[in-house]
Amino acid sequence: MITTLEEKPHIPAAPRKRKVPGWAVAMLGVAGAIALLSITSMQTGFPQLTSSGTTQTAVRLALPILLAGLGGLWAERAGVVNIGLEGMMIMGTWGAAWAGYQWGPWAALVAAVVFGSLGGLLHAVATVTFGVNHIVSGVAINLLGAGLTKYLSTLIFLPLSSNPRQSPPVQSFDTFSAAGLGDWLGELEAGQLLFISDVAGILRGLVTGVSPLTMIAILLLPLSYFLLWRTRFGLRLRSVGENPHAADSLGVKVYFHKYVAVIVSGGLAGLGGAALVLNPGQLSYLEGQTGGRGYIGLAAMIFGNWRPGGLLGGAALFGYADGLQLRSGGETVLALVYGVVLLLGVIVVWQLIRRKWFSAAAAIFVAVLMYLLYISLDEIPSEFVSYAPHMVTLAVLAVASQRLRMPAADGLVYRRG
Amino acid sequence: MGHLRGKLLPPALAIVFSLLLCGVALIISGANPLSAFGAMVSQVGKGTTAVDILNSTGIYYIAALAVAIGFQMNLFNIGVEGQYRVAAVVAAVVGGSIALPTGIHTLVIIIAAAVAGAAWAAIPAILKVTRGVNEVISTIMMNGLAIGLSAYLIRRDVFGELRGNNIRTAEIPESGWMPGISFAGGGTVFGFIFVAIALGVGYWIMMNKTRFGFELRASGESSTAASAGGVNAKKMILVSMLLSGAIAGLISLPELLGRDHTFSLNFTAGIGFSGIAIALLGRNHPGGIAFGALLWAFLDKSGLALDNVGVPREIVTIMQGSIVLSVVVAYEVVRRFELASEQRRVGRELGTVGGAA
């Protein structure tokens, strides 16, 4: 009896009413990010931060991350943790190269999806039907994917390219650009006007050299959102990820939805692999080409709190940091640190207004650290820039892991009965 | 008897299944699986292969032990890969930059490696204990960072030096080496192999004879029951993760102390992930892990013979991957089967009791 007295009744907090719709918040976020970049590029004297070239490279590098992250989103929304994204992506790169050099880029896409889905199917059989731990199965699929592609490359690509680690060149997509718009934006970009030139540069990067694959990837994001959050099928799929037993009691086919989700997940990861192979700078399969991008996709999804919008933000951020380093080196990336200091300054003001003294003090502390880093270094060593996503993810997890909310039954083995 | 069968049957099934699978793959690709497997077996007797297998077994054994400590309490240390990479660079840099008497020098390098591995594992451990961050994600991220850090540390303006086409750290002086047992023409067995064996014995004693090992296993079986029994869950996570990282730090030492004496671009990567597979295959048991490590090493080293019979040796990697996947499936199937037969047995006995009353 005493224990029941001591227990405080748990009252769930009433959901806060949103004053502004989600898309408006997103627009504000994008505008804020561009403003921040524009001020940073003016203060540090690096116009490359918002140049069209950087944006174009960033988009190209963000695509595989975005697609892998979408794959992770599908699987985890159905309650299956997919560490095997990396392996499925590797299988996708091989499939894309194998079909691509024979029948062109569209066949490459199809083959990549098929190969990736096969990986997904394997993961589904192991985790859903046999109830194997999701992490264990994922690690095994990563080993298997790497081994299988190495074997197949030696068998099939070696006689053609006389290199067991590379495929023959693949045909690329024809890219198209909005010519008139691009030129006009180019004039604006060259004008060096604060904010306007920056917006023009980014927009020009977005409308120049667009390949069909870019379009498909960008369209897959709202499509996934629509399917998962706006249809009956999506509701059922997500209910399987939140509480499979309850879903089962309501007649939802748990195994079926998990299977579909994981196979789609593999297909998307495979498509991400195709995005690497069909990258204009490369245009062939290379061993070790994925370089852990499957994991970064997973990180982007966690960064985005298991939501498509946040995932897009994460993929854009990671792609941007990578693209910036590739286009203009470690000095420009150091300028981003300056941008982070500015951002922290805004956060400090915001926290002071909300009278959150502790958060404000913590933000000031980090800001001072970052500023010291900025003035003491000449450039960020290139070895570290490629791993910026890893650092950002760790930082986000450390700061916000209490606020992130993954599907309730994510990673748990479900058995009907 | 049935107990033993339940333990040995799944790995045997998994190996047979993987052999069949790879056999079919070989037939499809137009090779003769029997001659391929035959070439692998006969390779053991040739040149230094037998010694290479032994050396490789020791390395895999350490890796799998590191993973197994985490597994014992359902902690997925995917970060063994990064921990041993960082430890290897740190050990090579420390070893190459100090001068100490023989023996003490080696010991300092070993301690440096263990501390570096533990330190790299401490970050995800602290994040998990204080902020509740899932260790799988954080260790994956730490693996990426480890590659970046090691590449940075061997830059020529940091600790690296250019030797031929290879960038490497300064060579460890001979006082820091660990002598091995040399077979004329048959290769040299790394001295560190004996450390690996000692680690296995220590692991067995720790798990079965100490309070810490008991609490570790109890936390793995049921964390709620363990904490009700007074086990401090956070402390267990922290200690087991640090221990796992420290052992992971030793993975590269057999090669570093016994052969390479430097960290270079030729660094053997991927042993951490193999360690995960081997720990699964051996079910975290020191004997089982030894068997798994031996199998892995055999496949690795004998696979070199496949090139001679015109089969890509990467078939071995497929075999390893399919062994892991099928062994975990087999363990699960056997577990379910035993559970079902147990339920049937209990049901039967209850039924007879009910009928007699």
> What pLDDT sits at residue B246?
96
| A140 contacts B324? CB cut-off 8 A | yes
Q: State the average pLDDT over residues A2-11.
A: 45
Closest CA relative to residue B121, chosen from B256, B269, B240, B254: B240
Q: How far is Cα B80 from Cα B63, in angstroms, rounded to an integer?
A: 7
Count up the domains in chain B and report the number: 1
Q: State the average pLDDT over residues A20-46.
A: 79
> What pLDDT sits at residue B142?
93
Poorest-confidence range of A221-230, A388-397, B337-346? A388-397
In 10 A of CB B16, how many CB atoms?
11
Q: What is the mean pLDDT of chain A?
A: 85
Q: Which residue has the higher pLDDT, B83 or A188?
A: B83
Any B CB within 8 A of A378 CB: no
Give residue-wise pLDDT tens across range B163-220: 877 888 888 888 888 888 888 777 888 989 999 999 999 999 999 999 999 998 888 8
Closest-CA residue of B relative to A400 is B131
* Whether the predicted pLDDT of A12 surpasses 60: no
CATH number at residue B131: 1.10.3470
Classify residue B145: in a domain, yes or no. Answer: yes
* Whether the predicted pLDDT of B25 surpasses 90: no
Q: What is the mean pLDDT of chain B?
A: 88
Classify residue B20: in a domain, yes or no. Answer: no
| CB-closest option in A126, A164, A397 to B138 | A397
> What pLDDT sits at residue A11?
52
Q: Which residue has the higher pLDDT, A37 or A244?
A: A244
Mutate to test the interface with B, among A397, A404, A413 (most CBs of B within 10 A): A397
Chain B residues with CB under 8 Å of A302 CB are 137
> What pLDDT sits at residue B291?
94
Poorest-confidence range of A190-204, A220-234, A337-351, B56-70? A190-204
Classify residue A324: in a domain, yes or no. Answer: yes
| A126 contacts B148? CB cut-off 8 A | no
Closest-CA residue of A relative to B129 is A398
> What pLDDT sits at residue B1?
42
Classify residue B343: in a domain, yes or no. Answer: no
Classify residue A320: in a domain, yes or no. Answer: yes
Classify residue A155: in a domain, yes or no. Answer: yes
Classify residue A7: in a domain, yes or no. Answer: no
Closest CA relative to residue A124, chosen from B325, B11, B136, B139: B325
Cα dist from B151 to A68, A289, A387, B90, whole Å: 26, 18, 11, 12
Tokens of B114: 């263990």
| A143 contacts B277? CB cut-off 8 A | yes
* Whether the predicted pLDDT of B348 surpasses 60: yes
Q: State the average pLDDT over residues A376-393.
A: 80
Q: How far is Cα B150 from Cα A394, in angstroms, rounded to an integer?
A: 19
Classify residue B33: in a domain, yes or no. Answer: no
> What pLDDT sits at residue A122?
95
Q: How confident is the model at residue A394 (pLDDT cuts 50, 70, 90)?
A: confident
Give the minimum alpha-carbon distance from B316 to chain A in angstroms, rounded to a whole number: 8
β-strands B160-163, B166-169: how paired? Answer: antiparallel
Give residue-wise pLDDT tens across range A109-130: 999 999 999 999 999 999 999 9
Secondary structure element (H or E) that encloses residue B169, with its range = strand B166-169
Q: Which string of DSSP letters, residue by residue, matches B11-75?
A: HHHHHHHHHHHHHHHHHHTT--HHHHHHHHHHHTTSTTHHHHHHHHHHHHHHHHHHHHHHHHTT-
Chain A residues with CB under 8 Å of B152 CB are 381, 383-384
Residues of chain B above pLDDT 90, percent: 39
Give the minimum alpha-carbon distance from A413 to chain B in angstroms, rounded to a whole number: 12
| A135 contacts B136? CB cut-off 8 A | yes
Tell me which DSSP letter residue B176 carries. G
Q: How confident is the model at residue A4 (pLDDT cuts 50, 70, 90)?
A: very low
| CB-closest option in A83, A154, A296 to B314 | A154
Question: Which residues 148-167 of chain A have a CB within 8 Å of chain B?
Answer: 148, 150-151, 153-155, 158, 164
CATH number at residue A302: 1.10.3470
Phi first, then psi, for residue B190 (nearest 5°) are -60, 135
> What pLDDT sits at residue A19?
63
Would residue A252 be called left, alpha or beta, if left means φ above 0 and alpha means ψ between -120 and 50 degrees?
beta
Count up the domains in chain A and report the number: 1
Chain B residues with CB under 8 Å of A132 CB are 325, 328-329, 332
Q: How confident is the model at residue B309 (pLDDT cuts 50, 70, 90)?
A: confident
Q: How confident is the model at residue B106 (pLDDT cuts 50, 70, 90)?
A: very high
| CB-closest option in A153, A387, A401 to B132 | A401
Give residue-wise pLDDT tens across range B217-245: 888 888 888 888 888 888 999 999 999 99
Classify residue A374: in a domain, yes or no. Answer: yes
| A147 contacts B320? CB cut-off 8 A | yes
- Give me the domain span that covers residue A328: 34-175+210-400
* Whether the predicted pLDDT of A214 surpasses 80: yes
Closest-CA residue of B relative to A164 is B312
* Whether the predicted pLDDT of B356 surpasses 70: no
Classify residue B167: in a domain, yes or no. Answer: yes
Closest-CA residue of A relative to B77 is A135
The one-letter amino acid at A8: K
Q: State the average pLDDT over residues B101-108.
A: 92
Poorest-confidence range of A124-138, A243-257, B19-33? B19-33
Closest CA relative to residue B297, chosen from B13, B18, B39, B60: B60
* Whether the predicted pLDDT of B123 surpasses 70: yes
> What pLDDT sits at residue B12?
87
| A132 contacts B328? CB cut-off 8 A | yes
- Give me the domain span that covers residue B319: 48-337
Phi first, then psi, for residue B30 (nearest 5°) are 85, 25
Classify residue B349: in a domain, yes or no. Answer: no
Residues of chain A above pLDDT 90, percent: 35
What ipTM did this prediction achieve?
0.88
Q: How confident is the model at residue A13 (pLDDT cuts 50, 70, 90)?
A: low
Classify residue A196: in a domain, yes or no. Answer: no
Q: State the average pLDDT over residues A213-218.
A: 90
Q: How far is Cα A262 from Cα A254, in angstroms, rounded to an integer?
A: 12
Give residue-wise pLDDT tens across range A244-261: 999 999 999 999 999 999
Q: How many CB pairs under 8 A join A and B?
A: 139
In 10 A of CB B45, how many CB atoms?
8
Q: Which string of DSSP letters, residue by residue, matches A239-305?
A: HHHH-HHHHHHTT--HHHHHHHHHHHHHHHHHHHHHHHHT-TTT-S-BTT-STTHHHHHHHHHHHTT
Give residue-wise pLDDT tens across range B133-165: 888 889 989 999 999 999 899 888 888 888 877
Q: Which residue has the higher pLDDT, A50 or A228?
A: A228
Give the minimum alpha-carbon distance from B118 to chain A in angstroms, rounded to a whole number: 18
Q: Which residue has the higher pLDDT, A417 or A56?
A: A56
> What pLDDT sits at residue B357?
41
> What pLDDT sits at residue A205?
78
